[in-house]
């Protein structure tokens, strides 16, 4: 269990921090201004492309990707970098091609795609030329239970025909999100976890009706392509578009969840750290009733609690990363659930205090805190609500401890 940054990580952290200091943080105001001008326009503002160019030039690209195609980092190595990127949530991850859901989609294509699928979709994704979306959640059912999925993928000769309704498909409002990975049922009569399949659906396929962007609190998240509601009506794709094979959908979903979750958690820790900094600075700047807010006992209590919580959380995320590196995603199953349970709740608690220290400003567009809160809040039901994960984790704990008795 070795968590300390090694030489590679230290080196990359320095490079990434330089990039953040020189390019990303200064670009935040530009980003805000461009976003203000782009109301109703889906997709990233121009500054993101500029940052991508710079990041690529510096080799800060696809850092999340293990093996030769990417930076070849372990999860522990990537953790420190991902946390730093979380500090500028809207800019740093897309700038370095490390943003969800593309990372998960690229990983899925990398692991399960055919050579043709990789050539057509993985290659431009790795190059940052197109983006992608992952269509799983449905409005009509509790999607945390995969057997509830109602979208159908039916074979008809050399084609699959897709019918169904999805929502909260992040990124899909972006016209440049060229490819959708769609989860549906190929065989509703099969065993519980063999009913589902995943299939590649180009966004411009006839029958794909991208109806509207779902909001999160009041945010449309238009910079990264929002959260689409999509209706699939008799959408036809060639049979070669299936990922792995029929019935593999649940297994693929499980495989992508591990990295997806840990990246979310790493970024959330970056948010918490930057939030804590904002809180302390604001409190140091404001005077009420004759002393700066940093002299108020209650605010100090928040600061101390925040620090103590962050430290524990980061260690759990690092341990999980280390387990994924050493025993694999399956061996790290409990820990992956644990960070999914612990992280959003903890960071939400901290951000609530950051807001409170800022007063009205803390919820406004002048600070990033309310938007962070919205993002982190969604993590409490992304990939299934925490309650489902807690139930599953408890079942394993019960099995383990009663077996030992």
Interface residue with a copy of itself among 22, 119, 145, 156 (CB under 8 A) is 145
Query: Counting contacts by CB under 8 A, is residue 233 touching a copy of itself?
Result: no
Q: Say if residues 14 and 58 touch (Cβ distance below 8 Å).
A: no
- In the bound state with a copy of itself, the residue whose beta carbon lies nearer, of 94 and 362, is 362
Question: In Å, how far are 93, 187, 282, 311 from 256, measured between CA atoms?
Answer: 18, 22, 39, 27
Q: Residues binding a copy of itself: what is the number (CB under 8 A)?
A: 91
Interface residue with a copy of itself among 23, 42, 121, 373 (CB under 8 A) is 373
Scan residues 316-335 and list those touching a copy of itself (CB under 8 A).
316, 319, 334-335
Query: Counting contacts by CB under 8 A, is residue 277 touching a copy of itself?
Result: yes
SS3 177: strand
Scan residues 5-24 and list those touching a copy of itself (CB under 8 A).
none
Interface residue with a copy of itself among 168, 183, 225, 376 (CB under 8 A) is 168
Label the pairing between strands 291-292 and 287-288. Answer: antiparallel
CA distance 216 to 78: 28
Query: Counting contacts by CB under 8 A, is residue 287 touching a copy of itself?
Result: yes
**10 Å Cβ neighbour count for 234?**
11
Scan residues 103-142 and list those touching a copy of itself (CB under 8 A).
137, 139, 141-142
- In the bound state with a copy of itself, the residue whose beta carbon lies nearer, of 214 and 243, is 214
Strands (E), 206-286: 208-214, 227-238
Scan residues 337-366 and list those touching a copy of itself (CB under 8 A).
338, 341-342, 355-356, 359-361, 363-366
Residue corresponding to tokens 């109703």: 40
Stretch that binds a copy of itself, among 42-50, 122-130, 253-261, 397-405 (CB under 8 A): 397-405
CA distance 387 to 33: 39
In whole angstroms, how close is the CB of 75 to a copy of itself at the nearest point?
15
Query: Counting contacts by CB under 8 A, is residue 74 touching a copy of itself?
Result: no
Query: Counting contacts by CB under 8 A, is residue 191 touching a copy of itself?
Result: no
Query: Counting contacts by CB under 8 A, is residue 220 touching a copy of itself?
Result: yes
Question: In Å, how far are 80, 226, 317, 336, 337 from 332, measured between CA atoms?
Answer: 19, 31, 11, 6, 9
Interface residue with a copy of itself among 52, 90, 131, 227 (CB under 8 A) is 227
In whole angstroms, how close is the CB of 68 to a copy of itself at the nearest point?
28
In whole angstroms, how close is the CB of 378 to a copy of itself at the nearest point?
6
List the structure tokens of 117. 């699928």
DSSP 216: B
| Cβ contacts of 43 within 8 Å, gap of 6 or more | 173, 174, 175, 176, 222, 223, 225
């Amino acid at each position: 269990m070795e968590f300390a940054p090694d030489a590679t990580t230290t080196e990359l952290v320095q490079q990434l921090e330089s990039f953040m200091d020189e390019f990303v943080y200064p670009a935040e105001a530009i980003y805000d201004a461009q976003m203000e001008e782009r109301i109703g326009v889906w997709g990233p503002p121009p500054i993101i492309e500029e940052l991508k160019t710079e990041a690529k030039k510096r080799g800060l690209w696809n850092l999340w990707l293990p093996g030769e195609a990417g930076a070849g980092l372990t999860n522990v190595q990537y953790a420190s970098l991902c946390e730093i990127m979380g500090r500028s949530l809207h800019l740093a991850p897309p700038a370095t091609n490390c943003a969800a859901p593309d990372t998960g989609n690229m990983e899925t294509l990398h692991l399960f795609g055919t050579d043709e699928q990789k050539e057509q979709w993985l290659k431009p994704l790795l190059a940052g030329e197109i983006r992608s979306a992952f269509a799983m959640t449905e409005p009509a059912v509790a999607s945390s239970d995969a057997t509830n999925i109602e979208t159908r993928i039916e074979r008809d000769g050399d084609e699959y025909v897709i019918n169904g309704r999805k929502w909260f498909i992040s990124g899909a409002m972006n016209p440049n999100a060229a490819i959708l990975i769609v989860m549906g049922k190929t065989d509703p009569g099969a065993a519980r976890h063999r009913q589902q399949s995943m299939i590649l659906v180009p966004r411009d396929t006839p029958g794909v009706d991208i109806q509207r962007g779902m909001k999160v609190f009041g945010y449309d998240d238009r910079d990264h392509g929002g959260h689409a509601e999509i209706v699939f009506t008799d959408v036809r794709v060639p049979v070669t578009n299936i990922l792995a094979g029929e019935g593999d959908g649940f297994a693929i979903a499980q495989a992508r969840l591990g990295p997806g979750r840990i990246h979310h958690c790493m970024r959330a820790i970056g948010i918490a750290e930057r939030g804590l900094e904002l809180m302390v600075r604001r409190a140091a700047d404001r005077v009420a009733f004759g002393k700066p807010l940093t002299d108020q006992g209650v605010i100090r209590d928040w600061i101390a609690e925040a620090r103590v919580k962050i430290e524990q959380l980061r260690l759990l995320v690092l341990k999980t990363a280390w387990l994924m590196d050493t025993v694999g995603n399956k061996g790290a199953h409990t820990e992956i659930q644990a960070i999914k349970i612990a992280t959003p709740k903890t960071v939400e608690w901290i951000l609530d205090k950051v807001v409170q220290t800022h007063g009205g400003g803390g919820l406004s567009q002048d600070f990033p805190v309310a938007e962070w809160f919205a993002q982190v809040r969604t993590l409490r039901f992304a990939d299934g609500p925490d309650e489902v994960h807690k139930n599953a984790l408890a079942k394993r704990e019960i099995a383990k401890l009663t077996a030992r008795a």
